[in-house]
Amino acid sequence: MPLNRREFTKQSAVAGAGLALTGAVGALATAPEALASDEPEAYGAGHGHGRTLGYGPLVADPDGMLALPEGFSYRVVTHSGVTRLESGEFTPSNHDGTAAFAGPRGTTYLVNNHELKGPRSKWEHPVPLTEGLVYDPAAAGGCTVVEVHRDGTVAEWVGVAGTSTNCAGGRTAWGTWLTGEETEDLAGKNGMTKDHGYVFEVDPYDRRANLAPKPIKAFGRYAHEAVVVDPKHGHAYLTEDASGPNGLLFRWVPPQGFEHGRGKLRALADDAGVLQAFKCIDSSGRFVDDLSRATRIGTVYGVDWVDVPDRDARTTPVRKQFTDGQVTRARKLEGMWWADGGAYVVSSYAREESPGAAHDGQVWFYDPKRRTLTLKVLLGVNATPEQDGAFDGPDNITVSPYGGLVIAEDGEGVQHLFGATDSGRTYPIARNDLNDSEFTGVVFSPDGETLFANIQTPGIMVAITGPWRRQPRR
């Protein structure tokens, strides 16, 4: 049912309750502790909240890898070309999206994407073609499963191989990982022997469940980034990282009577359910063509969903199947995380390819009950990315057990992991002192004591521990 102006205005009023502060935003947050607001409490630590924001300044790493706040430490979990899989091959390169699962006897399972595009010959350390786990033997990407024991010992094996450009994905409520291919290569292109641009499911607990990989074609074929599943209604939400035109946020509505669970998605018919793209309207009932139009934290849009004509994109990419005015777009729709009854969604930046205002990152919250999309974090353009201080280019995100978000940077220049409060205040957690590679795969262990993250190139997973504490909400 389309969302009319009266219904949206009513829902906006409800969704906007408690947003009085952020609804009056003027400036943009870029530097640590900055709030995207012109309120007097925009800067400083605590300011009447009784708690200090963040963990203090970052201390340079004498080993030249990871700068952390005082009292924090890290250890390397996997390192491409250094650590090895159970089968003897080196850990694959280009670590990306990651999820954590509670394993037996206090272990943690991490399913780790490897964003390797094109033929295997391009890469020194592709995902090994493990028997029974290969989709396309020409493709270099896939996922590994990393088992971390309490004593620090690590085992790693292949979860899926022969996929391409495995970027982000999402953890399911039934304990599996959905990995998305950020490509639209059809068989015969870039050396591929099968069509790519799909989502695959990887089970960290049952290796047999991963045999004979099968794409979930019902979710569509496009440049996939992240995916989350609404545990109550069963809808899947998926982001697309694409340009020319900008990408879309999708919703997959399951067929009537469908119940999620292990092995259920791979059994779906290719055309099962309905795939839809989002369409936003503002509080005046006007169509919003691109999320870059939003310039204030607290902006609330109503959301409608429009059916995708050809989800497998046999002749025309999905995002090009819509005319102007049919759907809303955004540049680099990237990480997502399901929490608080909805989906947190990232748009990494906006420049000349976007019709609205330039920015260096947005984080939105989609509330499926109210059918609203609310801007939670907005980063201004970072004019000096080569200098440490400001944040830009959010990508993978997770919701922290200590409040707010933890965000991996994929911007220009210096790269960080940083936190963001409910009101958009930001603070540093880590800095890449090794190189200028992006951070990826940020996720907390099930017990909340360890923050895992990746330096994408060459491909290093680290485990960060320290005096974590609850952060102020504002």
DSSP string, 133-158: -BS-TTB-EEEEEEEE-TTS-EEEEE
Q: 10 — phi, psi (to 5°)?
A: -65, -45
Amino acid at 288: V
Task: List, as one string, the DSSP characters of 49-112.
Answer: SSS-SSS--EE--TTSSEEEETT-EEEEEEETTTSB-TTSPBPPS-EEEEEEEE-GGG-EEEEE
DSSP states along 216-259: -GGG-SSBEEEEEE-TTT--EEEEE--TTTTB-EEEEEPPTT--
Distance CA 161, CA 142 (A): 4
d(C-alpha 226, C-alpha 408), whole Å: 14
User: In terms of Cα–Cα distance, which of 214, 74, 98 is closest to 156?
Assistant: 98
| DSSP 8-state class, residue 186 | P
pTM passes above 0.85: yes
Nearest residue to 346 via CA among 279, 390, 299, 408: 408
CB neighbour class for 295 (10 Å; exposed up to 12, middle 13-18, buried from 19): middle
Distance between CA atoms of 167 and 226, rounded to whole angstroms? 8
Whole-angstrom CA distances from 178 to 130, 201, 202 are 19, 5, 6
Cα separation of 116 and 93, whole Å? 8
Per-residue pLDDT of the chain (474 residues), as tens digits, is 555 434 444 454 444 433 322 222 333 445 554 443 333 233 233 333 447 899 999 999 999 999 999 999 999 999 999 999 999 999 999 999 999 999 999 999 999 999 999 999 999 999 999 999 999 999 999 999 999 999 999 999 999 999 999 999 999 999 999 999 999 999 999 999 999 999 999 999 999 999 999 999 999 999 999 999 999 999 999 999 999 999 999 999 999 999 999 999 999 999 999 999 999 999 999 999 999 999 999 999 999 999 999 999 999 999 999 999 999 999 999 999 999 999 999 999 999 999 999 999 999 999 999 999 999 999 999 999 999 989 999 999 999 999 999 999 999 999 999 999 988 899 999 999 999 999 999 999 999 999 999 999 999 999 999 999 999 877
Which run of H or E residues covers position 283? none
Dist CA 396 CA 344 (whole Å): 11
Question: Residue 104: which residues within 8 A CB-CB, separation 6 or more?
Answer: none
Cα distance between residue 393 and residue 342, in whole Å: 22
Residue type present at position 177: W
Nearest by Cα to 427 from 435, 438, 418, 437: 418
What residues does each domain of the chain span?
31-80+386-474
The count of other CB atoms within 10 Å of the CB of residue 367 is 18
Which tokens hold the place of 98?
């990651």
Residue pair 93/459 in contact by the 8 Å Cβ criterion: yes
